[in-house]
Amino acid sequence: MTLDRETKSNHGIIRISYLVHPWTELHLRTDLRLDQRGLLNSGKAFITLPVSSKITRNIVEWDLDKAPEGTRAVWTFGEGPGPIEKVGPVSLLSDSVYVVGPIQSNPPAPVPGSISDNYGYYWFGELPSNIAVIKDIHHEFFLKVSSFFDDTPSPDNPYRSFVRSNQKTNAFGGTGFTRSHIFDYDSQISYAQDYDLIRRLSHEMIHNFLGPLPYFPSLDNPTINWLYEGIKNTLSIYLPFRNRFRTGDYFSSTLSTLCLQYYTSPLLNTPQPHLLTLASQNNQYAKELLASRAWAFVISCDFRARKLSELMRPIEDLAIKPLAKKRARGESYGIEDWIQLLKPLMGGELRERYESMCAGKTILLPVEVLVQRHIF
């Protein structure tokens, strides 16, 4: 494109229109896809954004004039079709979720002044029975996790979770976005165990408070990822058990699963820098060990801190919650912050533990972790 005249002003309105078609074959989780006469994905799949870090008024409005009767349209920050505004970086538009079609939800419909102002669980068609169980406890669990992180939901600080069927794949999993999450299930979902789905639910929720924020470049740091993955795995044991969503059997089962992943890894003694490199190359053994090693590091620190402190839950109060507050403010956070926050309690011992882990030395958990679940 060439310009035939000089631009006289450096501001004004630019209107861009483009047509987007959903994929008919499955490629990436971020692809725009159809699901049971509906359409669901994040803005990463279809929104082109300017490169800008400025805070803007982001407004989403839906035109449903030609849509079938009963069509609903939902964005992470509210239900349309009328305009919904969210002030923040323009990248919010890509790092949030959009869904349109014959949507079903819990609560069933938006009611002003109710929980629908700041929460929703959405799907198409009929949910498989085991996912329906998750749907029924989702909001209550969200409130418990929000309370844990002292982060009260509101219309300006909502949370919405979306469920999508991918019948052609053979895996289930999820992807987190700003104040929202997409859970994908497949044709084998009926074989998924309840505990696996509860662990997935826990990861989903905790990611909302401790995951990296894509629109803050300072947080796009691989040294952060393994630490918060370890924290998420630790809290995925504690929170469902502590809040009585599942019994002590869930606690023991999840602990055993993570121990199995860590201690049986063929890369068990691989130094951390090399493990990070392998994980970045999509080595599945490395990715699994990175998460389970991080968990072993965090939970071993937790048990040691409990012996050194009179606090009931020292690493949660002294480190995890402060890290979540740094993340909420958009500040960089990582292992050095973790070490400094716990240094008054653990002294130089914590850095020694970290350096030992980085060297690839096996983390030995005390046997009390397996038998004293009542203290967690």
The CA-atom distances, in angstroms, between 69 and each of 64, 66, 100, 312 are 9, 9, 12, 55
Per-residue tokens: 255: 């602990």
Name the band, by pLDDT with cuts 50, 70 and 90, for residue 290. very high
Can you give the length of the chain in residues?
Answer: 376
Mean pLDDT rounded to a whole number for the chain:
88
Tell me which residue range forms the domain holding 368: 217-375
Pair (160, 117) in one structural domain: yes
Query: What is the average pLDDT across 129-158?
Result: 96
Query: What is the average pLDDT across 236-253?
Result: 94
Domain boundary among 192, 209, 233: 192
Count: domains in the chain: 2
CATH number at residue 292: 1.10.390
Amino acid at 300: S
Q: Hey, which of 11-15, 105-109, 184-188 has the most confident mean pLDDT?
A: 105-109
Question: What order of strands is seen across the sheet that includes strand 159-165?
Answer: 104-106, 119-123, 159-165, 180-185, 173-177
Look at residue 266 and give its three-state secondary structure.
coil
Pair (120, 237) in one structural domain: no
Q: Are 101 and 123 in contact (CB under 8 A)?
A: no
Per-residue tokens: 347: 């002294």
Q: Does 68 fall in a domain?
A: yes
Quote the CA–CA distance of 319 and 342 in Å, as a whole number.
Answer: 7
Pair (177, 225) in one structural domain: no
Pair (221, 370) in one structural domain: yes
Quote the CA–CA distance of 305 and 320 in Å, as a whole number.
Answer: 13
Q: Are 151 and 246 in contact (CB under 8 A)?
A: no
Flag whether pLDDT at 273 surpasses 60.
yes
- Percent over 90 (pLDDT), the chain: 68
pLDDT of 170? 58
Flag whether pLDDT at 305 surpasses 90.
yes
| Sequence-separated contacts (24+) of 178-184 with Cβ below 8 Å | 178/76, 178/92, 178/95, 178/96, 178/213, 178/215, 179/76, 179/77, 179/96, 179/208, 180/76, 180/96, 180/97, 181/97, 181/207, 181/208, 182/29, 182/40, 182/41, 182/42, 182/97, 183/131, 184/29
Q: Does 198 fall in a domain?
A: no
Name the band, by pLDDT with cuts 50, 70 and 90, for residue 3. very low
- What is the distance between the terminal CA atoms of the chain, rounded to a whole angstrom? 63
Flag whether pLDDT at 178 surpasses 60.
yes
Pair (51, 185) in one structural domain: yes
Q: Does 211 fall in a domain?
A: no
Query: pLDDT, tens digit, for every residue of 91-122?
Result: 899 999 999 999 999 999 999 999 999 999 99
Query: pLDDT, tens digit, for every residue of 212-230?
Result: 654 443 334 555 578 999 9
Q: Does 247 fall in a domain?
A: yes
Pair (245, 352) in one structural domain: yes
Phi, psi of 194 (to 5 degrees): -55, -45
Instruction: Say whether the peptide bond before residue 68 is cis (omega within 30 degrees of 0).
Output: no
Q: Does 57 fall in a domain?
A: yes
